[in-house]
Amino acid sequence: MTAFISEHRRLAPGFLDRVVVTGSATAGDWWEGTSDIDLVLVIRRAPSQDELVALGELHRSTISEGPVDGVYLTEQQLAEGPDTVGAAPQVVEGALDTQARGTQLTWVTWREVESGVEGVVDAVGAITWMPSARRFPGAEEGARAFSRHNLRDYWQPLGIRARAQLFSRCDSDPVDPVTVRWIALGPARLVATIETGDVISKSASGAFAAERWPAHAEFLLRAVASRTGEDIPFTVADARQALDLLDQCVEITGVDGR
């Protein structure tokens, strides 16, 4: 990250002020070849079009080793919270969208900033890393509310579509491990946020879900092991189990009552 930031400053002098590393890279859950690096890049001013092109290329150059993703925000936008930020430059899987809506502009990102690691860039380009001291009064409840809505509005329809796609397939047919572990771990992570207010890592969400739903424990153990780089095959039967777990996660939003 220090090398990335140095190159970033060379391409856009006077643009970047601070960087907060969030997500798996700060939660002990970053795995080479599997994980990306998530950032909140705190900027001093709006970038020029030429700078956006150059920075887009910089982010794109990281894809082969694990994309460096993130969102670009001013200090004022960070202080005001995501509800007032209509759009911002965002990078997803190494691709920069200069005016993206939604995506990382949620209270979950702000909650992750609170437990992130902040790099302070001084006048000569040196970077000092330290635990984030930022706190946002609305972040915890905002992250809970976002997680409820995301389970109902995004994950529940996705589960319905996925079941339809699997309907005529044999249980023994192979399926993509990345997709299976994404469905197995993503919704459970949201349940953990709803119940604790914290944003935990994807691997930690596997342990959380295994304790909460023991019937899925063996499957979740395999999903977490796959995330760490183990070559573990998955079948349609596993995909259906992931969707069963997704349904149980969605049910939490009804029990929760909000």
State pLDDT tens for residues 42-68: 999 988 999 999 999 999 999 888 899
Can you say whether the dihedral through the CA atoms of 47, 55, 66, 249 is positive or negative? positive
Residue 96 and residue 90 in contact, taking contact as beta carbons nearer than 8 Å:
yes
pTM value?
Answer: 0.89
Residue 248's closest CA among 178, 166, 157, 187? Answer: 187
Residue 186's closest CA among 23, 21, 20, 65? Answer: 23
Q: What is the pLDDT of residue 121?
A: 75
Q: What is the pLDDT of residue 131?
A: 94
Q: What is the pLDDT of residue 32?
A: 77
Over the range 51-66, which residues count as b (16 or more CB within 10 Å of their CB) and which as e?
Answer: bbebbbebbbebeeeb
Q: What is the pLDDT of residue 255?
A: 58
Residue type, 38: D
Q: What is the pLDDT of residue 124?
A: 65
Q: What is the pLDDT of residue 53?
A: 93
**Mind spelling out the 3-state secondary structure of 91-130?**
EECCEEEEEECCCCCCHHHHHHHHCCEEEEECCCCCEEEE
State whether residue 45 is helix, strand or coil.
Answer: coil
Segments in the chain below pLDDT 70: 123-125, 255-258
Residue type, 128: T
Over the range 213-247, which residues count as b (16 or more CB within 10 Å of their CB) and which as e?
Answer: beebeebbebbbebbeeeebebbbbbbbbbbbbbe
Q: What is the pLDDT of residue 145?
A: 97
C-alpha angle 125-132-37 in degrees, rounded to nearest 5: 70
- Tokens representing residue 93 in the block: 């899987």
- Tokens representing residue 237 in the block: 């039967």
Q: What is the pLDDT of residue 23?
A: 84
C-alpha angle 180-185-189 in degrees, rounded to nearest 5: 160
Residue 236 and residue 166 in contact, taking contact as beta carbons nearer than 8 Å:
yes
Q: What is the pLDDT of residue 185?
A: 96
Quote the longest CA-to-CA distance of the chain.
61
Q: What is the pLDDT of residue 128?
A: 87
